[in-house]
């Protein structure tokens, strides 16, 4: 397992992170998995044995159930260098202040997560999504307070747009507060929009990048083929994330993953994950699942290196349907990133 610095921080995390959205199974997340304590314990042990040192969860996963199970499992293992990341933003109750990124909710949510996780400190605390109603100055001040009080070590964001991130970093600099060290994004062979702004911003501003749902909800795992959706999958259960806007392009990507995997004697999922791990700007890829074989297969991707030819083949079938949208700014983008980093703008540039 390789370890990389998380943004400008001195914290080193594994190139694979354990995701826990399938753990607990309460509320909306019953659709994506209902992994219980005993199963989750096996999966955590598998990941730790493979060298994974970061476990990512969120308070909204099973309405706190995922955090509770992770807290029960880790217990004394926290002293072995296991890092825990969690998130807050979504409604955790019926009250008007039970969600959002206000000072009131963030501090209360953090304290609740600490109790569920059975720990004194959260290693990476992430705002789960943009809150357009709360002044960003208030959100960043609350996060800064949590760091100064020793409840949180590092802070990050998730699902922010480029301007959201830059505004937050600007406020942190202006007020001399702790800044985001990372962002968590959706980025796959099928969804490469992050190459337009989010990845260049991360490199320019020194942010680590954690990738969620790297197999597009299982669509890039190889078990989904044209006119074939296995029973028991997320899509069959009505889970519609991520949205697929060009189904023919999706199946071309899947066909190429299957072909390369067959030549290498590995799974299509491992090929898709290996492609992501080696993308410039990516720090760690979050893997998850409902079955032991899914974790075992995904963990093997940490040791898979694709050839230049294989990457070119994957690039050829995964070109975004829309070219770089800001064509009139292309020259300045090249000047800023340098000719060697043009891959961040997509292989079509």
DSSP 10-60: S-EEESEEEE-TTBS--GGGGGT--B-HHHHHHHHHHHHHTT--EEE--TT
305, 330 Cβ separation under 8 angstroms = no
Regions in the chain scoring below 50 on pLDDT: 234, 236-237, 239, 347-349
**pLDDT in the model for residue 303:** 96
CA gap 122, 185 in Å, rounded = 20
pLDDT of residue 234: 47
The pLDDT value recorded for residue 236 is 41
| Predicted local distance difference test score (pLDDT) of residue 349 | 44
Q: How many residues does the chain have?
A: 349
Q: Which residues are catalytic?
A: 61
């Amino acid at each position: 397992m390789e370890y990389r610095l998380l943004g400008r921080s001195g914290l080193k995390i594994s190139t694979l992170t354990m995701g826990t959205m399938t753990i607990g199974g309460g509320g909306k997340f019953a659709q994506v998995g209902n992994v219980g304590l005993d199963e989750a314990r096996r999966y955590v042990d598998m990941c730790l044995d493979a060298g994974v040192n970061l476990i990512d969860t969120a308070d909204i996963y099973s309405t706190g159930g995922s955090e509770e199970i992770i807290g029960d499992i880790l217990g004394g293992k926290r002293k072995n260098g296991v890092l825990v990341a969690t998130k807050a933003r979504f409604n955790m109750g019926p009250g008007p202040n039970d969600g959002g990124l206000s000072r009131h909710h963030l501090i209360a949510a953090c304290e609740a997560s600490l109790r569920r996780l059975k720990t004194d400190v959260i290693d990476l605390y992430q705002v789960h999504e943009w809150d357009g109603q709360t002044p960003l100055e208030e959100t960043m001040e609350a996060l800064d307070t949590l760091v100064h009080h020793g409840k949180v070590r590092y802070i990050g964001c998730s699902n922010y747009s480029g301007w959201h991130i830059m505004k937050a970093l600007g406020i942190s600099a202006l007020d001399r507060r702790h800044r985001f060290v990372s962002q968590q994004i959706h980025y796959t062979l099928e969804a490469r929009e992050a190459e337009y702004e989010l990845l260049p911003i991360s490199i320019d501003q020194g942010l680590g990048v954690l990738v969620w749902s790297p197999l597009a909800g299982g669509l890039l795992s190889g078990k989904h083929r044209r006119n074939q959706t296995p029973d028991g999958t997320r899509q069959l259960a009505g889970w519609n994330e991520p949205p697929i806007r060009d189904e023919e392009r999706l199946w071309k990507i899947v066909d190429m993953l299957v072909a390369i995997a067959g030549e290498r004697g590995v799974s299509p999922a491992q090929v898709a994950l290996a492609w992501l791990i080696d993308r410039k700007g990516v720090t760690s890829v979050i893997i998850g699942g409902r079955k032991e074989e899914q974790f075992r297969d995904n963990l093997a991707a940490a040791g898979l290196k694709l050839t230049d030819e294989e990457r070119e083949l994957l690039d050829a079938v995964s070109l975004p349907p829309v070219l770089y949208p800001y064509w009139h700014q292309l020259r300045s983008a090249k000047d800023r990133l340098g000719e060697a980093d043009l891959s961040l703008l997509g292989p079509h540039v």
